[in-house]
Structure 1
Amino acid sequence: MPVFTVRNPGTGEPLGEVPAHDATQVAAIVDAAQEGQRAMAALPAHEREALLRRVADLVEAEQESLARLLAAENGKPITQTRGEVQAAVRIFRGYAGEATRLFGRQIPLDAMPGLERHLAVTMREPLGVVAALVPFNYPVELYAHKAAAALAAGNAVVVQPPAKCPLAVLRVAQLVEQAGAPPHAHQTVVGDAAVSLRLAGSAGVAAISLTGSTAAGRAIAKAAGLKKVYLELGGNDALIVCDDADVEEAARAVVLGRLARGNGQICCAVKRVYVQRRVHDAFVDALVAQATKLTVGDQLLEPTDVGPLITEDAAERVEQAVQALVHDGARLLVGGTAQGAFVDPAVLVDVPSDSPAFAEEIFGPVAPVARFDDPDEAVRMANASPYGLQAAVFTRDVSRALSIARRLDVGGVVVNGSTALRAENLPFGGTKDTGGYREGIHDTVLDFTRQKTVVVMDAFK
């Protein structure tokens, strides 16, 4: 069987080899999942809850080793991977609680003439087998959202971890087995895009949950046909800085929410910055001052703010995007150079709002800044993007903030903070090419069920 060699993206050091499945092996995995699904569906809600709590406890007991493994294979600084593993623990515990809150409804049939004596109730049932396609940037956290939700609702799940950094997810999968999941209720398959498409097209898969690029989402949706498809795709989040904003805090939001968060490889990172002309220069000065203090280097060292991107090719694409912005008329003030898989955090100004490179999602530590004169203009430019994940607005005027938030065509708006905010109990997702889905503890577990209506004739005498 062929293997994927997993490497530290910063050093190239091999971290392990993982057997690679091919598309022809997917059928047997999905067939086995049917047995696992029946076993999960037969578990009472309190047993599903207990299973997920045991998983959370086991992950928590290994959180430091998991964080180090994730940092080594993924490139995010160790301080951030610790937070990701802690989030996964909370997510498993959150879905454990949701397993016991899959409520049905009693629907009054006396609303219809002639049906007054009958009773109607609904019940929540599992969908079947869920395919969970996990991205490389936050693999453990996003895996938890998909796998824990599927199991909480009584489904089986087939997880495809990211091929470039599967090790931490595969270790958590072992902990799920150790916690006592029924055989074949939780399986993993490591492979390329052909495997993803085979999963999506499999007759034995009832639903597909993907976090990834918009191009991948389109391909998966096409392969899935009439199955349920849950897509959380690309983003090009805008941050709008009004002339009454605290520019130091606004600059910090860009640094912490873009340049020094996930090495800039986050769908909900700040990727476009629009600053009102009167405070533009002060904002840029603050942003450059903060950006130049960031430490780029070994992701396993505590002081590191920015580690390597997932591959050298990814870093090269970011450098090319910076060069495209400069070609379109932007001025590069700092950073933007790739060295191996590392990219120095970049700040660009005078970015033309109509630059094609500005409209695309740049997946790395790059902060392009454009000016605006009126907030209506900033809203128009923000909405011109094909993506609609999140946006942010900095202003001291609450009415202005809420008015702008209402007009932004996005899934979430953060006032006086970074768009790189995701709390597991909030619905997370966006509009337009971002996919339209909302993922979160209270939403996903319901999405992974179907409603059945039961009518009892002549229930009332």
Structure 2
Amino acid sequence: MNLSVIHQDNGSFEFANGFTGSPFDITEPATGQKLGQLNSTSIAELDRLVEQTAAAQTAWAATDFDRRARVLRTFGGLLEQNAELINAWNARECGSIAGKAGWELQACIEQSFMCAAMPMNPYGEVYPSSMPGRENICIRVPLGVVGVISPWNFPLLLSLRAVLPALAMGNAVVLKPDPNSSVIGGVLIAELLQQAGLPEGVCSLALGGADVGQHLVSHPQVNMIAFTGSTAVGRQIGEVCGRQLKKAALELGGNNALLIMDDADIAAASSCAAWGSFLHQGQICMQSGRHIVERSVADAYIDALSERARKLVVGDPYRENVHLGPIISERQADRVMSLIEQSLAMGARIVCGGKRDGLFIEPTVIADVTPEMPVYKEEVFGPVAPVIAVDNEDEAVSLANDSDYGLAAAVQSSNPVRAKRIAQRLQAGMVHINDQTVNNEFQVPFGGMKASGNSGRFGGPENMEEFTEKKWISSIDAPLGYPF
């Protein structure tokens, strides 16, 4: 399929993608402007796409490691060369501010070069044998076709963190981005991989909504699903994959605790907290969603965090220099405000923010929060910092662990021994000391516990494990004689 992005004089874009399914608009959340239109992939087209991808995978897996590495290195260079276009789309399509878009792109460039080294890594091990003369080798082999279903909040990074290692290890990929990020999370990736020299069909693009994703998950020729998104949808995908004995890497939701101990540096802690709660309008699975603060410093912490929140500028990230952009959709903005309003009705108090203008919501600090309130119990996915006061360390840890989620957590304390002790007790896949919860390094395994995932990990050496399966090959010089 030949994809093209055609620039128009009026600032909109036209896409030629060759699909015949239902059309859907590409809309800029900040302005409501229609940027273009795409056609969804029909189910019949998806079936053909998967077949073609499966056929292309065999030849790609047999490709020399240096050729695979060269494609990924070239792709990383193309990301760099097209930075202005990519960052503009991240701002316009997803509401990303310049700093967030730039960081996301740089992380993807670095990840491209890391993944380019993967085909050159050792991929097998030799084991001893109890049989004289037998050699036991265990090698990693590609899974086949990997379906990647990515979200809209970090659309480039969360697509490529699965696409690139899957390709590096000899798999082929069908990428289905979220409809809200079809360009930045799909079209541009497919175009640049094609320009980088990836053979036709090795990375195919499928567009559309839940029906397309569901068919991709259940397709018998798709050997693995890498999904990033909500826990509710992740459970459904896990059920389908489980019935088919299909590998699934599920990185799901989070309601992440930031613990502020009584010996914390309050100024530094409030800076970390503002970043963790308000970056990208709070629309991050690792968002600092629950601020658990020892009572003796709670007032000072709330004051410091609120002072920072009031200085943040909300606006159109494509046309203005702002700290926060728009919420991704009307539906999500309605949900954020509903959670705030329900919690206020239960006795919570807005210290600052709490106002909405279209899809723009002010960074909001909420005090007098209790564990039963929706802003505390649920993953808000908006610029909201609920603060709950506790009496001691044990209560803080107990509250932090009292959640279905276990993605990320953070601890603020000037006592390193105490902070590490608390970190050991927290039930989260990632814990950061004297930092905030939104952290990602491409070379470090990333993933959550409990309802935040199914123990899959992305990043660093874990990519080798995640996107391959093992095969045992034994050999002996001459046939053995057995009693039968």
Q: TM-score range by the shorter chain?
A: over 0.9
Question: Which residue of structure 2 aligns with residue 218 of structure 1?
Answer: 235
In the alignment, which of 105, 115, 118 is matched to residue 95 of structure 1? 115
In the alignment, which of 358, 371, 390 is matched to residue 372 of structure 1? 390
Question: Which residue of structure 2 aligns with residue 206 of structure 1?
Answer: 223
Q: Which digits, 9 at most, give the CA deviation of each residue in 1:63-93, with x for residues without a partner?
A: 1211011110001112211111111111111
Q: Which digits, 9 at most, give the CA deviation of each residue in 1:272-291, with x for residues without a partner?
A: 00110111111111001000
Letter in 1 for 2:346: D
Q: Is the 8 A contact 1:119 1:458 kept in 2?
A: no
Is 1:284 paired with 2:302?
yes
Letter in 2 for 1:249: A
Is 1:439 paired with 2:458?
yes
Q: Is the 8 A contact 2:156 2:184 kept in 1?
A: yes
Q: Is the 8 A contact 1:129 1:207 kept in 2?
A: yes
Letter in 2 for 1:196: G
What's the % identity of the aligned pairs? 37
5+ long unaligned stretches in structure 2? 1-19, 479-484
5+ long unaligned stretches in structure 1? none
- Structure with the bigger RCO (C-alpha within 8 Å, sep 6+) is 1
SS in 2 for 1:122: strand
Instruction: Quote the Cα distance in structure 1 between the aligned partners of 2:477 and 2:414.
Output: 61
Is 1:182 paired with 2:199?
yes
Question: Which residue of structure 2 aligns with residue 149 of structure 1?
Answer: 165
In the alignment, which of 313, 324, 328 is matched to residue 310 of structure 1? 328
Letter in 1 for 2:474: V
SS in 2 for 1:402: helix
SS in 1 for 2:452: coil
Deviation of residue 356 (structure 1)?
A: 4.2
Q: Is the 8 A contact 1:132 1:147 kept in 2?
A: yes
In the alignment, which of 31, 53, 62 is matched to residue 82 of structure 2? 62
Q: Which digits, 9 at most, give the CA deviation of each residue in 1:105-156, with x for residues without a partner?
A: 01011xx3xx132110111110000000010000001111111011001000
SS in 2 for 1:99: helix
The answer to which of 20-29 and 127-136 deviates more is 20-29
SS in 2 for 1:123: strand
Letter in 2 for 1:389: L
In the alignment, which of 369, 372, 375 is matched to residue 351 of structure 1? 369
Q: Which digits, 9 at most, give the CA deviation of each residue in 1:20-62, with x for residues without a partner?
A: 1133322111101112211210111111111100111111100
Question: Which residue of structure 1 aligns with residue 347 of structure 2?
Answer: 329
Instruction: Quote the Cα distance in structure 2 between the aligned partners of 1:19 and 1:59.
Output: 25
In the alignment, which of 101, 105, 110 is matched to residue 85 of structure 1? 105
SS in 1 for 2:47: helix
Deviation of residue 366 (structure 1)?
A: 0.3
In the alignment, which of 232, 244, 256 is matched to residue 263 of structure 2? 244
Instruction: Quote the Cα distance in structure 2 between the aligned partners of 1:322 and 1:102.
Output: 52
Q: Is the 8 A contact 1:134 1:162 kept in 2?
A: yes
Letter in 2 for 1:179: A
Instruction: Quote the Cα distance in structure 2 between the aligned partners of 1:255 and 1:108.
Output: 54
Q: Is the 8 A contact 1:98 1:441 kept in 2?
A: no
Letter in 1 for 2:160: A
The answer to which of 330-339 and 416-425 deviates more is 330-339
Letter in 2 for 1:36: A
Letter in 1 for 2:139: M
Is 1:33 paired with 2:33?
no
TM-score normalized by the length of structure 2 = 0.92
Is 1:46 paired with 2:66?
yes
Instruction: Quote the Cα distance in structure 2 between the aligned partners of 1:211 and 1:154.
Output: 22
Is 1:297 paired with 2:315?
yes
In the alignment, which of 137, 142, 145 is matched to residue 129 of structure 1? 145
Instruction: Quote the Cα distance in structure 1 between the aligned partners of 2:132 and 2:277.
Output: 59
Deviation of residue 453 (structure 1)?
A: 0.9
Instruction: Quote the Cα distance in structure 2 between the aligned partners of 1:315 and 1:409.
Output: 30
The answer to which of 215-224 and 155-164 deviates more is 215-224
Deviation of residue 223 (structure 1)?
A: 2.2
Instruction: Quote the Cα distance in structure 1 between the aligned partners of 2:397 and 2:43.
Output: 45
